[in-house]
Amino acid sequence: MPDIPAVSRRLLLGGALATGALAAGVGTAHAAPLAQAGAAPAPTRRRRPGQKSMIDVPFDVHKTVRVGVIGLGQRGSGMSEGWSVVPGCTVTAVCDIREDRARRTADRLAANGKPRPAEYGGSDASYAQMLRRDDVDLVYIATPWEFHYRQGKDALLAGKHVIVELPIATELDELWDLVDTSERTRRHLILSENCSYGRNELAMLKMSHEGLFGDVTNGHGGYLHDLRALLFSDTYYTDAWRRLWHTRSTASFYPMHGLAPIAAAMDINRGDRMTVLRATATEPKGLADYRERFIPKSHPSWKETYVNGDLVTCLIDTDRGRVIRAEHDVSSPRPYSRINSLAGSRGIFEDYAGVMATSGGRIYVEPDHSGHAWKPFDTYRKEFDHWLWKKIGDDAADNGGHGGMDYVLQWRTVQLMRAGLVPDIDVYDSAAWCAPIPLSVKSLAAGGRPVEVPDFTRGSWVNLRLGLDSRTSEMPPVA
Ligand SMILES: NC(=O)c1ccc[n+]([C@@H]2O[C@H](COP(=O)([O-])OP(=O)(O)OC[C@H]3O[C@@H](n4cnc5c(N)ncnc54)[C@H](O)[C@@H]3O)[C@@H](O)[C@H]2O)c1
């Protein structure tokens, strides 16, 4: 265990990151820029008249947060209940193209003793009617990926803040347009990146920022989840939307759950930035092989050809010379992992290291450890537990899916809006974390050649600022 207090340790380690992050910790909005002299200019776009940065822009104070939900399938229906139990939050409207799903969610909320939300449904434009309501402050979008950009943009244009399931969009132009629209409408658009609020992920972030790993040099994350049975199920993903993506495109569709926590630990957009990405893909074997063995020949999937590689890997360089490896594989037999590993000049953390997915991780940091032997992570997780988990960990365990991190994300989002604070994850983070989707397409099409990562912050990435490593704050009392 560390034998000196964390803050002193960070001071002792020194270095630009430690110094700047401490400056941010005592309230300096913009610490000294870290851009290195002579670094190549980042590919970016000019801000148009009427647009201003959304960096460090707090939410207006909302006495209560009134949520409108679009998409009430597996994810949206569960998350609707999650929003409804956060103190000071009410679900006022729900929408699904399938009216019966709006009715079902409204019924369930009413049966739980919550106010009955208004229902919208029946067409793929029903959500636009919902957006006209003036009792919706935050729109939560949990539809298939192909609808996120249009629905997110329309919600911003309707004057709402928006939290969008992964990804916020799948094309570079769309990502830029969401950044521009957020800057123009002065409304926040946030990726609903629940894993960034995972307990181990947040402890890893704190350890990184407090210098435990020394100079962080590399990190690995990903989304490795055997979804084959669900992808071929006729009752899980509506109209098999997720399987169909594997017939259309060769890309890293969904690396954000593993990439975002690594990016946060490396201060991406907050002192560093991703500069270049190169992608590799293995052959698409998993889905066809599964179909051959388990799916009857009469099933509609037999008309499909799967083109996306099973394992798509993105290697991403950062301006400060670090390397991120982000992986995506949902079509191979394997136990679940988001990898979640961070390493530097003084040590390494590896999550998902044991036989059980919930093994709790392992660590090796100097000077605490020596002899080339891993140590359990548990004591470090306790010492570096994020204030959010200390405060609401028990409620999260009672209320939230995915080990409680869904509730932590929802509680924190509502708190930020009710207290009028700056979001932990902003539109620039959201765009940067989703950019590997189109960039991997581009790199794979060019035989794995490196492609430049755009700078959505338009140069502001050089400034250190707080994000998920937020300061402790209270949820305003409910009147
Ligand atoms: N963050 C996480 O941990 C997590 C977990 C699961 C899913 N997700 C994400 O949530 C989203 C939804 O996934 P899912 O598993 O719930 O899929 P799903 O198929 O179960 O649900 C999608 C719902 O959207 C509805 N819909 C489709 N088009 C619509 C439109 N134009 N207007 C309104 N409703 C429409 C469908 O009728 C369906 O009810 C995806 O983006 C997925 O990646 C995130």
Probe target for ligand 1 pocket from 94, 95, 96, with the most ligand atoms within 8 Å of CB: 96
- Distance CA(288)–CA(285), nearest Å, equals 6
Q: pLDDT category, 41, cuts 50, 70, 90?
A: low
Phi-psi bin for 150: left (phi > 0), alpha (psi -120 to 50), beta?
A: alpha
Q: Tell me, what amino acid is at 48?
A: R
In this predicted structure, the answer to whether residue 58 has a pLDDT above a threshold of 90 is yes
- Distance CA(88)–CA(90), nearest Å, equals 7
Residues of the chain with CATH 3.30.360.10: 195-389+425-462
Residues of the chain with CATH 3.40.50.720: 65-194
205, containing H or E segment: helix 199-209
Q: pLDDT category, 358, cuts 50, 70, 90?
A: low
Q: What is the average pLDDT across 305-326?
A: 98
65-194: CATH topology is Rossmann fold (3.40.50)
In this predicted structure, the answer to whether residue 233 has a pLDDT above a threshold of 50 is yes
Q: What is the average pLDDT across 37-65?
A: 88
- List ligand 1's pocket residues with C-beta within 6 A: 70-76, 95-98, 101, 124, 127, 142-145, 147, 165-166, 192, 194, 237-238, 241, 402
CA of 96 to the centre of ligand 1 (A): 10
Q: Tell me, what amino acid is at 342?
A: L
Probe target for ligand 1 pocket from 81, 124, 143, with the most ligand atoms within 8 Å of CB: 143
Task: Find the DSSP H helices in 26-122.
Answer: 74-84, 99-111
Give the chain's mean pLDDT.
91
CA of 147 to the centre of ligand 1 (A): 9
In this predicted structure, the answer to whether residue 53 has a pLDDT above a threshold of 50 is yes
Distances (CA, A) of 381 to 95, 260, 340, 377, 401: 39, 19, 14, 6, 20
Q: pLDDT category, 1, cuts 50, 70, 90?
A: very low
* 304 vs 394, residue with greater confidence: 304
CA of 355 to the centre of ligand 1 (A): 31
Atom 27 in ligand 1: residue holding the nearest Cα: 143
- Distance CA(123)–CA(133), nearest Å, equals 17
In this predicted structure, the answer to whether residue 9 has a pLDDT above a threshold of 50 is no
Q: What is the average pLDDT across 146-154?
A: 98
Probe target for ligand 1 pocket from 70, 74, 147, with the most ligand atoms within 8 Å of CB: 74
pLDDT at residue 36 in the model: 45
Question: How many Å separate Cα 126 from the centre of its chain?
Answer: 27
195-389+425-462: CATH topology is Dihydrodipicolinate Reductase; domain 2 (3.30.360)
Q: pLDDT category, 8, cuts 50, 70, 90?
A: very low
pTM: 0.93
pLDDT at residue 118 in the model: 98
Q: What is the average pLDDT across 174-198?
A: 98
CA of 237 to the centre of ligand 1 (A): 8
Atom 43 in ligand 1: residue holding the nearest Cα: 166
CA of 391 to the centre of ligand 1 (A): 30
